[in-house]
């Protein structure tokens, strides 16, 4: 049941709203979009909610979230790689302790 719901909601994020000539499909898309929109807004902090509550469709929320946080993931990954590459075992520290520090 959860998988089917996921597939329906993913369809909303992957596809644009259908033209009015395809009334039944458009109605279905709008229903799924409303559900995705509600799930997204209800699962975020109040600060994010205030920033994103004006978004009309779920895809718009997703795009704004990617704009807000998309660069942070790449920066965090780069910092983690740099940290591991520059890590050196200090004298008088066992290999086990050094590996625990690296792994986190």
Which DSSP string corresponds to 45-62?
Answer: -HHHHHHHTT-SSHHHHH
Instruction: Output DSSP code: residue 44.
Output: S
The answer to whether 56 and 34 are in contact (CB under 8 A) is no
pTM above 0.85, yes or no: no
Torsion of CA 27, 28, 33, 34, to 10 degrees: 70
Share of the chain above pLDDT 90, in %: 14
Structure confidence by residue, pLDDT tens digits, 75-85: 877 887 887 77
Question: Phi/psi of residue 59, each to 5°?
Answer: -60, -35
Predicted confidence at residue 103, as pLDDT, reads: 74
Q: Which long-range contacts (CB under 8 A, 24 or more apart) does 39-42 make?
A: 39/9
State the average pLDDT over residues 87-96: 85
């Amino acid at each position: 049941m959860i998988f089917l719901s996921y597939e329906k909601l993913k369809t909303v994020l992957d596809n644009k709203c259908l033209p009015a000539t395809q009334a039944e499909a458009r109605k279905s898309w709008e229903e799924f979009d409303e559900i995705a929109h509600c799930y997204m807004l209800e699962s975020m902090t109040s600060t994010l909610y205030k920033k994103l509550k004006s978004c009309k469709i779920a895809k718009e929320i997703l795009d704004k979230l990617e704009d807000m946080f998309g660069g942070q993931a790449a920066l965090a990954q780069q910092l983690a790689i740099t940290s591991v590459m520059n890590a050196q075992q200090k004298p008088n520290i066992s290999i086990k302790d050094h590996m625990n520090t690296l792994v986190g």
